[in-house]
Amino acid sequence: MDDNRFKDYPTKRIPKVGKGTRAEAHSDYDIDDEYLSDDEQYDGDYDDDSYDTDYDTKPVPSRRASDRTKERDPLPVRRNSERRTDRTITRSRAGARHAHSYNERQHRSGRNIREKSKSAFVAVYIGLLFVAVAVSITAFVLIFQRIMDESPDLSDIIGDRDRPSISNGNNGDENGETQTPIGRPDIQNFRAMVTGIDISAPSLALLDIDTMQASEILLADDVEIFNRSGASINLSQIRIGQIMYIDYDARFPQITTIRENARAVEFRERRNVIINQDNNTITIGHEAFMYTSQTLVMHRGNRINISEISPADSVTVMTFDQRAWKIELDSSTGRLRPDNAGHITNGRITIGNQHALFLDELSEPIIVPEGPHTVLIEGDNIAPFTTTVVITHGQTIGLDLSGIQLTHATLVITTTPANAAVYVNDNRITSPTTQVEFGSHRVRVQHYGFITEERTVAVDESVTAIRIDLIEEIVTPEVANIVVFTTPSNAQIFVNNLPVGRANPSLVLELEPGTHSIIARLPGYTDTVHAATVTSGQNMTINMTLLPIIPDDPSPPTSNNQGDGEEDEPGQPLPPPPLLP
């Protein structure tokens, strides 16, 4: 009987027999199964797409049972093998898909890394290229300046004794013939500062900055003039004080080429320049330069003394090799001194657009740029006054303010006590000094505890001072009038334990407002005490009755004179009672 229960069920993979050993050929499994790795052997998991889930609960037949089934069924059945092949193909495809996805991610990651590396490399390459270009340009500039600086000087070529005399425009022997030193070039050069320009000749007045020799040399007809950038310029564009390289023909002599020195530095329109005449230095910012007697110090085309320059002036300085060769005073300053301003209260002066200055705070003249300026004078006791002054370089101009008319006078009030309230024309003032118009004014001074004083003050001068001393007011406090009657009369009266008299038959007391203790005492009677509370101006009557003392022993009382037969005088005062608590 054929057993076909397991024909349509998936079969278990045949485990690996051994490395290099081929399993017995059978129609129910593929030849590739015996070469599966340990991880690829049957692990109980199948792809959901390769088989139906209904077979999961069915048993998997063993290898021997499958062999017996095949012996009973001679017809080859490939159905299970086909399903297993499909599963293998599906699993291989799924693995291939996972592997492809992983490889794709790795590829993208590697590509991103390569792109970033390439970008970084390009950036570094461009940076290095820029650095190389900058270094090349710097080296070229330095080499060019070195070549220019190493140009031979006139003193190095022909010496001081062979330098042509250029003060007379002639360099030759007695016959006027030009003598050129043997073996030396005809074209010679030197560095000089331009000290004068004559366009009509044309010629230049020069100062050799190496030998400090002054000279005047004619210009050749075909002279070439270049500025520091190498551009060609004409003679009218040369300025006095510029440092030039001069090429001239020693045979005539005539200047053939003029080149501006590119290393000369010009500081334009600088202020706060410090000039130290002790060590002959001029400080511009953080740099100090030497100056000599050959340094040109000029203002508007005229030479001036360097001591005339102040830190407030604006100057232009031409420097070369740590020396100042020309100092041009661009805008100079002078000084303005206000005079006779003592009568102006809180006087203020405004020059042009500058800030106002208080006149009483000025200890030195005001530094003002040269030229015309509008001056405004203001004060609390004057009308605004405007005038025009002209400031000259290095000069001090005085401004007399005594002619300014006052519109108000100054009233100074001193009081005793010092913190008394002061009223001028019924207006309270808080300062001892106030501004009032000329004429009469009513002044009142008052303070608590003092008698108020009021007076009329005539103000006819620019400054009027008065003093008012208040008199302290003596105030007598109001008292209460108390009339005390005693029964019997002639009793001694004590107020606050102090005897004040006898009530015979009455006694009038003047007591300050408050509570007072009144005691009536008479020999043979008990003391009578009354507490009276009174107010200011109150009138009160008090009747006090004294009770006789009843002795415990009916025997007559002994006298105080111890049997001398004399009795006590009734008019003698009694001792004061004990102090009340």
**In whole angstroms, what is the distance from residue 326 CA to residue 261 CA?**
15
Is residue 273 in a domain? Answer: yes
Residue 497 sits in the same domain as residue 452: no
Is residue 416 in a domain? Answer: yes
Is residue 385 in a domain? Answer: yes
Q: For residue 481, how far is the Cα from the chain centroid?
A: 76
**In whole angstroms, what is the distance from residue 474 CA to residue 577 CA?**
36
Is residue 121 in a domain? Answer: no
Task: Could you list the beta-strand ranges (E) of 278-356.
Answer: 281-284, 287-290, 296-299, 302-303, 314-320, 323-331, 333-339, 348-351
How high is the pLDDT of residue 461?
85
Rounded average pLDDT per 10-residue block, the chain, 581 residues? 50 48 44 44 45 48 54 52 60 66 72 79 89 91 74 44 38 37 59 91 90 89 89 91 88 86 89 89 90 90 88 90 91 90 90 91 90 92 92 90 88 92 92 89 92 92 90 79 90 92 88 90 91 88 89 57 44 50 40
Number of domains in the chain: 6
CB atoms within 10 A of CB 409: 21
Name residues whose C-beta falls within 8 Å of residue 263's C-beta, 6 or more positions apart in sequence: 145, 148, 149, 320, 321
Residue 308 sits in the same domain as residue 352: no
Give the closest residue to 522 by CA, choosing from 577, 578, 562: 577
**In whole angstroms, what is the distance from residue 86 CA to residue 106 CA?**
30
Residue 256 sits in the same domain as residue 287: no
Residue 109 sits in the same domain as residue 1: yes
Residue 517 sits in a domain whose CATH number is 2.60.40.1120
Q: Does the model's pTM come out above 0.85?
A: no
Q: Which of 232, 260, 288 is the last residue of a domain?
A: 260
Give the closest residue to 297 by CA, choosing from 279, 324, 323: 324
Residue 311 sits in the same domain as residue 201: no
Give the closest residue to 6 by CA, choosing from 53, 105, 73, 104: 73
Residue 176 sits in the same domain as residue 229: yes
Residue 325 sits in the same domain as residue 315: yes
Is residue 131 in a domain? Answer: no
CB atoms within 10 A of CB 453: 16
Residue 10 sits in the same domain as residue 111: yes
Residue 301 sits in the same domain as residue 362: no
Residue 277 sits in a domain whose CATH number is 2.40.50
User: Residue 172 is part of which domain span?
Assistant: 154-260
Is residue 142 in a domain? Answer: no
Is residue 311 in a domain? Answer: yes
Per the CB < 8 A criterion, the answer to whether 35 and 16 are in contact is yes
Phi/psi for 371 (5° steps) reads: 115, 180
How high is the pLDDT of residue 554?
57
Residue 392 sits in a domain whose CATH number is 2.60.40
Give the closest residue to 273 by CA, choosing from 308, 218, 323, 314: 314
Q: Which of 205, 231, 260 is the last residue of a domain?
A: 260
Q: For residue 579, how far is the Cα from the chain centroid?
A: 76
How high is the pLDDT of residue 474?
78
Q: For residue 214, how far is the Cα from the chain centroid?
A: 53
Q: Which of 292, 316, 331 is the last residue of a domain?
A: 331
Tokens of 189: 């050069």
Helix-strand-coil split of the chain, %, nearest 5: 20, 40, 45
Residue 388 sits in the same domain as residue 424: no
Q: Which residues lie across from 446 on neighbouring strands?
A: 421
How high is the pLDDT of residue 122?
87
How high is the pLDDT of residue 412?
92
Residue 10 sits in the same domain as residue 105: yes
Residue 72 sits in the same domain as residue 94: yes
Q: Which residues lie across from 510 on neighbouring strands?
A: 481
Residue 182 sits in a domain whose CATH number is 2.40.50.320
Is residue 20 in a domain? Answer: yes
